[in-house]
Structures are given as structure tokens and as C-alpha cells.
Structure 1
Amino acid sequence: MSDTKKATPTDVTKSNRRKKLLIALAAVVVISGATASAYALLYGSNFISTDNAYTAVEVAQVTPSVGGTVSRVLVTDTQAVKKGDVLVEIDPTDARLALAQAEADLGRAVRRVQGFMANDGSLNAQITARDADENRAAAQLASAEADFERAQIDLKRREALSASGSVSGDELTRAQNAFAAAKANLDATRAAIAQARANRSTAVSSREANAVLIAGTTVESNPEVALARARRDQAAVDLERTVVKAPVDGIVAKRQVQVGQRVQAGMPLLAVVPVTEMHVDANFKEVQLKKVRVGQPVTLHADIYGKGVTYHGVVEGFSGGSGSAFSAIPAQNATGNWIKVVQRLPVRVKLDPAELGISPLKVGLSMTAEIDTRSKR
């Protein structure tokens, strides 16, 4: 009797069924692999994602423009504020006094310039008077010269006649005295005309100096008045700046100021976080960024809300360097122990303000970001 057992029809049927199942399974695996490969190649390769992403915002630092003592602080940390809301008030006493002084200086400058303009007419009149004085002195000089010439001729005649005895000594003496008096009068007249000319020159110089102060201007446009007005306006601005207002809408953070504190211009008081202007810094690997362009759409999820809330944004720009390049202690790659590490480059993603209004975010929250690189913008 043979030990070989012949296969029954049932066994053959089971074997055929097993082969068919294996073939079907292999076909499913091949089709699934092909489908997955095609999906990854044709669709999935157009998307890059990272969970190394965090919310950020341009925080508005609130600092005073003027120094003084803080009289009121109207906000606390975590408080929501609108642009223009009063945050801090500084005692305005010093600023009010400075404004009053500046206004007084402005009034004094206006009156001084008005005096300059009034002096212009007076100085013109003085020049006219000095011209008259000079003309009168010139006439007196002509008279004095004529008297001097006559006295000189008379003296010569009497001196010629005195030798023959035709003229007495007394008459000669009178002629000599008349000549001396005429000469003295001529010298005095010449001095007078020199003084008249000097007086006129002084008056002209005074008018020219006064004209320089008012030339081409009115009282309002005069530089002296303009300077005083600018100082007045600056004092008024400084008074307004004793009230510190919110520069943007947002949430108050890092409040450091207290009532009674003496603050200086530029000293940090608090910060306002504009949560409606939040963006995301997504740190992608350098090998992922080949097809990433500004303007491409981004889908994001925040860990605080999970997958239930989806944010939509666009690529706004790229950082100027990798994170390690801007670290406090940059990596020293020029060493013998260098090991290549894939770097990450921050990509700035702008979020939709409407979505932020519905689901607000805070600075520093973790996010996941996925960029659709199909857009070639």
C-alpha cells in the first residue's frame, strides 16, 4: 500500500482559493503603494508642515515723552484697551508752568518785534533830521569860510599899511583879532559839519540794523516771534503728553509703573500686546523651503484649541538668517569636530484678523503650520 495521499477536489479548491486571496492581497498592496506613491508625488509633495511654530506679535512699548511724577495709573496687566485709552497720567504742574512761561515769552517777542517796526519810521525821521543838520552845518561852513577870507584880506591890507604908518596899531590889533576869531569860527564850523555827518552815519547804521531785524517779514512771520511760538507749541505738546495713551488696541502686559513713581522720558512703563495683529513664526527645515514663496496659503492649528479650530494665513516673509545664526553663542562650524546639522529658517505667516477675533491667540503659543506650495507667487 502506497504512503502518498492523493489530493482531493476539496483540497484543490482550498488551494486555489488561497492563491486567489494572496494574489488579491498582493494586488491591494501594490495598488495601495502605487496610490500612496502617486498621492505623495502628485499632491502630498506640494505641502510642507512643521510643529515648530509659535505665535508672535510686534509688542508696543509704552514710554513717556516727558518726565514727572506719576499721579494715576488706570490699567492693570491683562486688561484690554483701545487705541487712545488713557493708561497713565503724569503730574502736569511743571508742564503747565512751562507753558505759561512760553506764552509770556511769545507775547514779549511780539511786542519787541512791533517795537522794531515802529522804530523804523522813527529812525527814518532821525536820518532826515541829521540831513538837515548837515545842510545847516554846510551853510554855516560856507559863511565861516567867507568871514575867514574877508578877515584874512583885511589883516593883510592893514599889515601892509602899518609899515608906512597909515594904519594905527589899534586898528591892526582889531584886524588881527578879527582874523583869529574868523579862523576859530571856521574850525568850529568844520568840526560841527564833521559831527553832523557822523550823527547822520550813526542814524543810517541804526536804521539798517533795525531793518535787518524786520526785513521781509511781518510780526507773525518774524523769526524771533516764530521761535517763541515754536517754544510755546512745544510746551503745549509737553503738557498734552503728561497723559499717556494706548498706541494700539491690545492687552496690557509687563506693567512696571506705580503711582508716585518719578519717571523719565523714554522709561518703560508697560507694554500693549496687539493680539489682533498676531502672526506666526514657523521654523521650517532648510530642505523644506525649496518651493516656498511669499503669498502662498498656510493652514494652521493652535495647541490651545486643537484641531477643532483652523486658522488660515499666508507666507509674509523669511527671516534674514537661521535661528542658530542669531543665537547668543553662534555655532563655530570651522572646527575639526564639526557635525552637519539641518538648520531651521523662521518663516513669518500672517494670520486672518477675522479668525483671530473669533479665536484669539496670545504671544508664544505653540502652533502647527502647513504650507501649500502649489502657488508660484
Structure 2
Amino acid sequence: MSHSEDNKTPVAPAPAVSASKRKPALLAVAGLTLLAGIAYGGYWALFLRHYESTDNAYVQAPVVQVTPQVGGTVLQILADDTDVVRAGQPLVKLDPSDARLALERAEAQLAQTVREVRSLYATNGTLSANIHLREAEVARMRADVARTSEDVGRRQPLAATGAVSGEEMKHAETALAAARSALAGAQSALAAAREQAATNQVLTEGTSIENHPNVQRAAAAVREAHLALQRMDLPAPVAGQVAKRTVQVGQRIQAGAPLMSVIPLDQVWVEANFKEVQLRKMRIGQPVTLHADIYGEKVEYQGHVAGLGAGTGAAFALLPAQNATGNWIKVVQRVPVRVELDARQIAAHPLRVGLSMEATVDVAEQGGQPLTAASAARATRTQAFDTQPAEADRVVHDIIAANLGRPLARVAATTH
């Protein structure tokens, strides 16, 4: 055996030594993994399973459009985009010339109507006097008939003896026939006078001049024209911020045309789109924690679940999905959940429509109503378009009084 062969070192035992060192490390890793799994399982069982989160959430708010109730030409614009306005504040002024002329026509028509109705009441007296006249004529005609009838009765025996000529007898009979014809004519005239009086009485009975239907109709036309003149100024329906102004000075607009929008930023809510599998434990009233991307994690909003949308986003899409086709793949849908926010937090950290939010719902409390239950109705109202009828009532009262010919009580004009 050579010297080189005697100096060779055996290498076979090396793998056994390496495997013996690797085994404890693998056991340690497995133990750590198992502990981590157990810890996560415990964390999920105690904490995570009580929360449902989504980053598919956006701020929503009422978008109130400002639209004219009457047509006209824009003379002045008093608010622009980003301006903050209060409820009832004038935003747009229209040309009032046409509305003012319409009001003047309505006022003139009311004055004429009052005088026409006055003539109806005056005609009642005339027709009543005419009836008395016709009755007197009938009485006179009856007296004539009685007189001529007596003349004929006296002459008939004398005519048989020849004491009265036949010509005289004929004249008496002719006078009797004429008297009877005149009586019939007078009776017909009396009947016509009574019918005419009854017809006119139907138009006037049971009411006064100021409360006559024709006068009330003309008065309503005055109030309508007065209201149209008031509507030349377009107020803000609600308090908020102006957005999407499209109207320009000098533009001819029609009733109902959108001019601008007012967004009440104090009435915002969050529309959180949760997967349908996340809705199983959600209940109305459950607390919600939210973060806005515009403020980051440093600002936390507190809210509560207020209701569930009537359908998924796909159901209300412009081009809804056609799930009845052959190429169908199941896609988990999302349903919008309405989350109401704390008004004080909104005032401290204002939000804007469309901002991204992250919402986390605490579903541990299961005592509330399910999302499928009907939520409470939210009534909204604006007083910006409430008109004051006192001015129109005063105008109507003055016109009626001026054309009535006698003093008119204020109460009669203000009841309508």
C-alpha cells in the first residue's frame, strides 16, 4: 500500500452528523408554526370573527338639484361652485317682466269680474220689479176680460129681442176675444219674467259678491300670478355647498331645467359594499368604525349600520349581468350597507361626496333587527319654497273692495 493511500480520510459519517443537527431545527420551526397557528386561531376566535371589514366604501350625500318652477331669462347668478349657502338664500334671479304683466292682467280681470257679479245681483232687483209689473198687467187684463165678458152677457138677451143690433153684439164679442188674448199674452210674459228671475237667482243665491265662484276664480288667478312673480327668485332648497353649476347669465331656461346642485355636507353617510357572505351576522344598529383616506388612520369615525340596499350593484348597473348565458362564472356579489355617521365628527372633520373609506363592523352584538327588516323612514322637508300668501291676499282684498262699491271686511278676502 502506498503512502498516499494510507493518508486518505474517511467521509461516510458526515451526512449522519448533518441530519442530526437539522432535526431539532425542523422540530423548532414546526413547533413555532403550530404555536403561530394556534395563536392566530385563538385571535380569530376571540376577536377577528366578530368583525367584518371592507375598503369598498364611499361617502354619499343628498345631491339637491336647483330647478326653476317657471321659465324665464336669467338676469343674475348669486352663487357659484364651492360656495356655501344657507337654506332659502337666493341663488338665481330670472327676468320678472312677463310675470309682472301676467299679474296685472289677472288683477284687471278680477276687477272686471267683481263688477260683472255686481251686475248679476243688481239684475235680481230689476227682474223682481219686472215680475211685479207683469203681475199688474195680468191683473189688468183679467179685469178687462171680466168687463168685456159682462158686456157680452148683458147684450145677449137684448140681441134676442132686437134691442141690440147684431153689429154691436159682434163688437162686444170681438172685444172679449181681444181681452182674453191680451190676458194670455200677459200671463206668458209673467211666466217668462219669473223664469228669468229664477235663472238669475241660481247664479247669486247662497253667496255674496266677494265669495261668488266667479270672483273666487279670478282671485285665484291673481294669487297664481303673484306666486309666479315670487318664483322669479330661486332659493337654495337646503343649506350646503354649491356644485355642478351649469346656468349662465342671459340663458333662457325652462321649468324643471337643472341649473346647479346643493350638497348638504352635514347629512353625509357611508355606503359600504360588503360581500354577500359578510352579511350573515350584520344587524341594524351595530357599531361601525371608519377611516377616511383623506385623513388617514389618525381620524376615526364612529357610526352604526342603518340599513341594507335593495339590490347589488350589478342589479342596478346600466348593463346588468346576463347570468342565464352558457358562459357563466359565479362571482361573489356586493350589497351596499348604509352606515350613519356621528354629526359631531362630521362637523369636526368634514367629508366630501365620493371619498374612499374603510369600514369595520362589530358583529358581536346580535340583538338588533336583521338587515332584511324594514328600516325607519327618514322624512326630509324644505321650507325654502314656503310662500307668504298675506301679500297676495291683501292685493285681492283691495281690488274687490275698490270695485265692490261698499266696504269689505278683511276676513272675507283672506279666506281661501
TM-score range relative to shorter protein: 0.7 to 0.9
Q: Give the residue type in structure 1 aligned to 2:266.
A: T
> Within 2, Cα distance between the matches of 1:228 and 1:357?
50
> Within 2, Cα distance between the matches of 1:177 and 1:103?
72
Q: Counterpart in 1 of 2:118?
A: 114
Match runs of 1:350-365 below 5 Å: 350-365=340-355
Please state how far the C-alpha of 1:295 moved relative to its aligned partner.
Answer: 2.2
Please state how far the C-alpha of 1:263 moved relative to its aligned partner.
Answer: 1.0
Please state how far the C-alpha of 1:153 moved relative to its aligned partner.
Answer: 3.5
Could you say if the C-alpha distance between residues 157 and 352 of structure 1 is closer, same or farther in structure 2, counting changes exceeding 3 Å?
farther
Deviation string for 1:21-46 (max 9, x for gaps)? x88994x7666544532332233222
Deviation string for 1:178-227 (max 9, x for gaps)? 22222222222122212221221122112211121122222232211111
Please state how far the C-alpha of 1:265 moved relative to its aligned partner.
Answer: 0.9
> Within 2, Cα distance between the matches of 1:24 and 1:345?
42
> Within 2, Cα distance between the matches of 1:38 and 1:112?
93
Question: TM-score w.r.t. structure 1 length?
Answer: 0.85
Deviation string for 1:146-200 (max 9, x for gaps)? 2223334333332xxxxxxxx7xxxx6xx22222222222222122212221221
Specify which of 334, 338, 346 is matched with residue 348 of structure 1: 338
Q: Counterpart in 2 of 1:323?
A: 313
Q: Give the residue type in structure 2 aligned to 1:150.
A: R
Q: Counterpart in 2 of 1:91?
A: 95
> Within 2, Cα distance between the matches of 1:253 and 1:83?
15
Structure 2 spans left out of the alignment, 5+ residues: 1-19, 369-416
Q: Secondary structure at the match of 2:315?
A: helix
Specify which of 140, 146, 159 is matched with residue 142 of structure 1: 146
Q: Secondary structure at the match of 1:324?
A: coil
Q: Secondary structure at the match of 1:348?
A: strand
Please state how far the C-alpha of 1:98 moved relative to its aligned partner.
Answer: 0.8
Q: Which has the higher contact order (CA 8 A, sep 6+)?
A: 1
Q: Counterpart in 2 of 1:6?
A: none
Q: Counterpart in 1 of 2:214?
A: 224
> Within 2, Cα distance between the matches of 1:146 and 1:279?
105
Question: TM-score w.r.t. structure 2 length?
Answer: 0.77
Q: Counterpart in 2 of 1:333?
A: 323
> Within 2, Cα distance between the matches of 1:133 and 1:147?
21
Match runs of 1:143-162 below 5 Å: 143-158=147-162
Q: Percent identity?
A: 47
Structure 1 spans left out of the alignment, 5+ residues: 1-14, 159-166
Q: Give the residue type in structure 2 aligned to 1:245.
A: P
Whether 2:201 is the aligned partner of 1:211: answer yes
> Within 2, Cα distance between the matches of 1:134 and 1:276?
85
> Within 1, Cα distance between the matches of 2:43 and 2:215?
78
Deviation string for 1:218-261 (max 9, x for gaps)? 22322111111111111011000000010011111111111111
> Within 1, Cα distance between the matches of 2:38 and 2:268?
42
Whether 2:371 is the aligned partner of 1:367: answer no
Whether 2:181 is the aligned partner of 1:191: answer yes
> Within 2, Cα distance between the matches of 1:47 and 1:215?
77
Deviation string for 1:247-288 (max 9, x for gaps)? 011111111111111111111111111111111111110000
Q: Counterpart in 1 of 2:259?
A: 269
Whether 2:71 is the aligned partner of 1:63: answer no
Q: Secondary structure at the match of 1:76?
A: coil
> Within 1, Cα distance between the matches of 2:126 and 2:343?
71
> Within 2, Cα distance between the matches of 1:287 and 1:226?
64
Q: Counterpart in 2 of 1:178?
A: 168
After TM superposition, the structure 1 stretch with the greater mean CA deviation from structure 2, 116-125 or 282-291, is 116-125
> Within 2, Cα distance between the matches of 1:220 and 1:37?
86
Find the structure with the greater CA-based Rg. 1
Please state how far the C-alpha of 1:343 moved relative to its aligned partner.
Answer: 0.4
Specify which of 137, 141, 145 is matched with residue 133 of structure 1: 137
Q: Secondary structure at the match of 2:354?
A: coil
Q: Counterpart in 2 of 1:50?
A: 54
> Within 2, Cα distance between the matches of 1:25 and 1:259?
77
Whether 2:262 is the aligned partner of 1:258: answer no
Q: Secondary structure at the match of 1:325?
A: coil
Q: Counterpart in 2 of 1:200?
A: 190
